[in-house]
């Protein structure tokens, strides 16, 4: 129901600005207070620094976002963002789209395709003054001046051809920023789940919620042996990023603050109401009609020929996504009076402007006149441009344009045809083969030609060159002849035209080249008229934006630029919402939803091994009991009431982050900057946020990192990749590997310290082996030390804790579990210290000293010191007492709140939150036990 009440509520309440904004990184200090309110503790100044963690780990794919997650150049993004790379490697004999792919070693990682790139942003610089210097007042010349200034800046920036630079307009030409990015040219496929996981629910679930999509894929960046970017070559080595994201295996709960970093595509929030109306009335319906026809055509042809289905899989996914979004926009405009909302704000702006006698009162009327011209231009040229949609005609036109541009000095060539563009130009010509079938291309082109000939806005040169007519049979026959006679379908011959002169094109017999030459001047005339209009807008629109920004600031509203595929940060919290059908959508979905939706038929055809793991309840350490805090900060009552235990693995979750297209694959980070998910979609009700942000219904949809880790561990057994990740808990600790394990100490027993550290004490355990035992599970650890024990330290470290515990082996024991440790010390036991440190107490244990405190527990201690006891002091320290050193060969055991049997010489485990009874038997070498909250005593030597 369209309602003006919604507009009034949003405009007057200030609610519209909650969590709104796609902020440039440099702006983060200006919203530091808002970040803190959301629980984002990482300093805003750190987020503003592109050279620091985590921003230097966020990369662009050119059309999506990704992030580094290991020191070996491992990258994670969405499955749908890596679709081209998966499709590129899929063949009849190994269809990775259908079956998934996992490289068990780096040697098995194939190229994701010659045109795949990673762009690592190094610098962003405000160059507004340079771009706007010495501009002409004549519109066309003004446009060319701006382009020339941008090219000059790019030329200096790209003195090293390993970098790609761009100058982007912000606030519709009010500001310009130069972005410098390192280009990774060798991108390889590492791990992708099947499409039935990555795209579970398909187009039906697209933009819908609840979702159960495993929309993730891992890639890897490679460079030459010298560390510099290089094209694909077997001898290349993994790129070593400046930093990589830590992965928080605990994930998030409802109400947690999060932020998203990425490269959002395009929004139109500062556009005029007339632009919104034109999009709603003409652009969206017109585009949707064409997309639907193409989708239907390719679907029918793909059903007959599986090769066609495979080649056009990426194209189909992209078109289906655009189609769903267009329909969502149209539905959103009907459901909410966004036109009325924007018109009211525009009216308020004009009223504000009239109060300033020095302001240009014709700002909007001047802009409206130019926009009307732009809309007319779009409608006039739409069908003619579509009539050139054939892949072969487009290739021919670009090649002829290249030959014409090469006659100019490089600096004067059109962007896209300069020397800096040739690698990508060539790669694009090569890539045609991976998603092109002449039969499909011909039929899609015929559809566009039919639409062109049926409308009145014809182009005589094109009509004459193509001999087009209203007779479909004649048109089809003409098109058949073009495809039959062209040589451009052959890649080698197509590439050979890159070095040809314009004169060679003009005498060519190839029918597509002849058609491209015939319509070239017409296309250049259209381009010139578009540049002329852009020149006019470059004067008027920035002036309007300056006034709008002043108006926003006067109302204390957030000011950020519309999205334009540059690096941005948005923030919010994990939260559900009240949907269009009046149901409250909970923020998390679980594995059971996959079983409930699964039909065995696409798009609800989850693979058998996934279904088996779910039915077996094989969750292991990934099981999540609750996704709610004690006191939820969600907006709605259903969040405030604690629901039943979650008892599953979260699959997808919602947040109030302000995202759009291009944010796909963006890392979702918790308040400490640790990876907790990947952005991949928005809810249907939120699609209109490109024009207007409504905080009550705007939700982004993310893949939960816990689902990704569970898939890697229990379903696809990507153990090699899990070992690459730096997994951290939500509080303090971190470990390189998360594994459930029973550890055996090898033949040679230790002659040096055995250290056990309780939970929440240590970070960075330097060791040759690290075993992390996940919390919330019951574990029994049995360790036996044989006759000849190891000569180096064995350290047991509880999760989320220890600082610098050097060792050759580390066993991490989770809190909140009952553990029984039984150890036997054989004949040749340790002659040096055994150390146990209680939780939340000790951080640094020097040399052969032990300080042990066990808080708030009742412990029964029995200590027996046999004949040959230690010859040096044993120190017992009660809670909150001053630590004393225990020299040389002493042993102290502290065990809080657990039943623990601590013999000598291996892993001793400390577990909180249980009543503890300690029985300690001390063999040949002495041991002492510390009772918490007791007076310190010293055993005699």
Q: Are 433 and 491 in contact (CB under 8 A)?
A: yes
Q: Determine how many CB atoms are found less than 10 A away from the CB of residue 636.
A: 16
Is residue 744 exposed (0-12), middle (13-18) or buried (19+ Cβ within 10 Å)?
Answer: exposed
Q: Are 85 and 112 in contact (CB under 8 A)?
A: yes
DSSP 197: H
Tokens of 325: 């979004």
Spatial CB neighbours of 239, under 8 Å, sequence gap ≥ 6: 73, 184, 220, 221, 222, 223, 227
80 is catalytic: yes
Report the candidate in 817, 836, 835, 843 with the shortest Cα–Cα distance to residue 761. Answer: 843
Give the count of alpha carbons within 13 A of 594, CB side only: 27
700 pairs with which residues across the strands?
655, 682
Q: Are 195 and 79 in contact (CB under 8 A)?
A: yes
| CA–CA separation, 844 and 804 (whole Å) | 8
Backbone φ and ψ of 52, nearest 5°: -110, 160
Q: Are 649 and 254 in contact (CB under 8 A)?
A: no
Sign of the Cα pseudo-torsion (231, 237, 241, 244, in order): positive
Give Cα separations from 605 to 98, 258, 313, 615, 848 (angstroms): 11, 32, 17, 15, 60
Kindly name the residue from 19, 145, 186, 215 that is annotated as catalytic.
215
Which residue is listed with tokens 């919402």?
A: 577
- Go through the chain and tell me how many residues it has: 941
Kindly name the residue from 79, 80, 520, 622 that is annotated as catalytic.
80
Is residue 426 exposed (0-12), middle (13-18) or buried (19+ Cβ within 10 Å)?
Answer: middle
41 is catalytic: no
Which own/partner contact pairs does 311-317 have at CB distance under 8 Å and 24+ positions apart? 311/87, 311/434, 311/435, 311/436, 311/437, 311/440, 312/435, 312/437, 312/440, 313/83, 313/87, 313/90, 313/97, 314/83, 314/84, 314/87, 314/435, 315/435, 317/80, 317/83, 317/199
Give Cα separations from 427 to 185, 264, 811 (angstroms): 11, 25, 49
The number of angstroms, rounded, from the C-alpha of 70 to the middle of its chain's C-alpha atoms is 15
Spatial CB neighbours of 305, under 8 Å, sequence gap ≥ 6: none
Kindly name the residue from 166, 468, 656, 664 that is annotated as catalytic.
664
Spatial CB neighbours of 459, under 8 Å, sequence gap ≥ 6: 384, 519, 522
| CA–CA separation, 418 and 404 (whole Å) | 12
94 is catalytic: no
Helix (H) or strand (E) holding 474: helix 472-485
Active site positions, annotated: 80, 215, 664
């Amino acid at each position: 129901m369209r309602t003006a009440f919604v507009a009034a509520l949003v405009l007057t309440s200030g609610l519209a600005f909650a969590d709104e904004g796609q902020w440039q990184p440099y702006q983060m200090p200006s919203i530091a207070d808002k970040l803190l309110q959301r629980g984002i503790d990482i300093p805003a100044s750190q987020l503003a620094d592109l050279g620091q963690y985590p921003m230097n780990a966020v990369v662009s794919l050119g059309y999506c976002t990704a992030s580094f997650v290991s020191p070996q150049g491992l990258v994670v993004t969405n499955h749908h963002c890596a679709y081209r790379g998966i499709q590129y490697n899929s063949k009849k004999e190994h269809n990775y789209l259908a079956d998934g792919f996992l490289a068990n070693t780096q040697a098995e990682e194939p190229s994701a395709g010659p045109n795949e790139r990673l762009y690592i942003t190094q610098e962003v610089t405000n160059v507004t003054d340079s771009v706007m210097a010495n501009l002409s007042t004549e519109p066309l010349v003004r446009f060319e001046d701006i382009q020339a200034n941008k090219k000059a800046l790019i030329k200096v920036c790209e003195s090293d051809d390993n970098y790609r630079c761009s100058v982007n307009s912000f606030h519709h030409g009010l500001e310009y920023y130069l972005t410098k990015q390192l280009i990774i040219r060798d991108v390889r496929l590492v791990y992708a789940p099947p499409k039935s996981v990555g795209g579970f629910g398909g187009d039906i679930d697209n933009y819908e919620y609840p979702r159960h999509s495993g929309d993730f894929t891992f890639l890897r960046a490679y460079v030459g042996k010298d560390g510099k970017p290089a094209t694909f070559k077997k001898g290349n080595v993994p790129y070593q990023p400046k930093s990589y994201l830590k992965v928080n295996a605990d994930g998030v709960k409802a109400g947690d603050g999060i932020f998203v970093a990425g490269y959002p595509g395009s929004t139109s929030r500062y556009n005029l109401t007339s632009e919104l109306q034109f999009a709603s009335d003409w652009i969206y319906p017109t585009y949707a009609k064409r997309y639907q026809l193409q989708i239907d055509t390719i679907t029918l042809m793909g059903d007959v020929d599986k090769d066609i289905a495979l080649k056009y899989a990426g194209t189909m996914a992209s078109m289906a996504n655009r189609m769903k979004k267009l329909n969502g926009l149209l539905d959103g405009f009907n459901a909410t009076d966004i036109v009325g909302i924007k018109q009211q704000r525009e009216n308020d702006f004009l009223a504000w402007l009239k109060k300033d006698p020095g302001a240009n009162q014709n700002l909007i009327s001047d802009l409206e006149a130019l926009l009307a011209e732009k809309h007319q231009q779009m409608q006039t040229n739409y069908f003619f441009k579509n009539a050139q949609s054939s892949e072969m005609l487009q290739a021919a036109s670009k090649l002829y344009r290249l030959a014409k541009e090469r006659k100019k000095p490089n600096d004067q060539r059109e962007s896209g045809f300069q020397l800096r563009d040739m690698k990508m130009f060539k790669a694009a010509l090569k890539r045609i083969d991976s998603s092109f079938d002449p039969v499909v291309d011909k039929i899609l082109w015929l559809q566009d030609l039919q639409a062109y000939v049926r409308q009145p806005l014809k182009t005589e040169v094109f009509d004459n060159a193509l001999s087009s007519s209203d007779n479909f049979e004649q048109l089809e026959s003409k098109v058949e002849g073009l495809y039959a006679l062209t040589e451009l379908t052959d890649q080698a011959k197509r590439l050979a035209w890159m070095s040809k002169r314009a004169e060679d094109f003009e005498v060519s017999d190839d029918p597509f080249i002849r058609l491209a030459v015939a319509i070239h001047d017409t296309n250049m005339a259209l381009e010139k008229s578009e540049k002329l209009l852009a020149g006019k807008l470059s004067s008027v629109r920035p002036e309007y934006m300056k006034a709008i920004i002043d108006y926003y600031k006067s109302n204390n509203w957030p000011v950020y630029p519309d999205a334009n595929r540059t690096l941005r940060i948005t923030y919010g919290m994990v939260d559900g919402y009240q949907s269009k059908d009046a149901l409250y959508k909970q923020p998390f979905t679980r594995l059971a939803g996959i079983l409930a939706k699964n039909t065995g038929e696409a798009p609800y055809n989850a693979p058998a091994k996934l279904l088996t793991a779910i039915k077996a309840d094989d969750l292991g350490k990934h099981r999540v009991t609750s996704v709610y805090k004690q006191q939820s900060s969600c907006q709605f009552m259903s969040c405030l009431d604690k629901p039943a235990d979650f008892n599953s693995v979260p699959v997808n979750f919602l947040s109030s982050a302000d995202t759009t297209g291009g944010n796909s694959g963006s890392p979702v980070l918790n308040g400490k900057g640790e990876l907790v998910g990947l952005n991949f979609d928005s809810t249907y009700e939120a699609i209109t946020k490109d024009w207007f942000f409504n905080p009550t219904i705007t939700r982004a949809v993310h893949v939960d990192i816990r689902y990704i880790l569970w898939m890697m561990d229990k379903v696809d057994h990507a153990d090699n990749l899990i070992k690459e990740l730096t997994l951290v808990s939500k509080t303090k600790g971190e470990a390189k590997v998360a594994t459930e394990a029973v550890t055996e100490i090898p033949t040679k027993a230790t002659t040096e310290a055995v250290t056990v550290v309780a939970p929440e004490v240590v970070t960075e355990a330097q060791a040759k082996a690290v075993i992390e035992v996940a919390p919330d599970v019951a574990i029994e650890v049995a360790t036996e030390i044989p006759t000849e024990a190891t000569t180096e330290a064995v350290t047991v470290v509880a999760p989320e804790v220890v600082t610098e515990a050097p060792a050759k082996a580390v066993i991490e024991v989770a809190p909140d579990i009952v553990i029984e440790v039984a150890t036997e010390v054989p004949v040749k036991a340790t002659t040096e210290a055994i150390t146990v440190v209680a939780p939340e107490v000790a951080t640094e244990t020097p040399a052969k000293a032990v300080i042990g405190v066990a808080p708030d527990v009742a412990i029964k201690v029995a200590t027996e010191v046999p004949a040959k006891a230690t010859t040096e002091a044993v120190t017992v320290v009660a809670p909150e007492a001053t630590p004393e050193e225990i020299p040389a060969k002493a042993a102290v055991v502290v065990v809080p709140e657990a039943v623990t049997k601590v013999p000598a010489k291996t892993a001793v485990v400390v577990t909180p939150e249980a009543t503890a009874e300690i029985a300690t038997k001390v063999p040949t070498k002495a041991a002492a036990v510390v009772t918490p909250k007791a007076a310190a005593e010293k055993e005699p030597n």
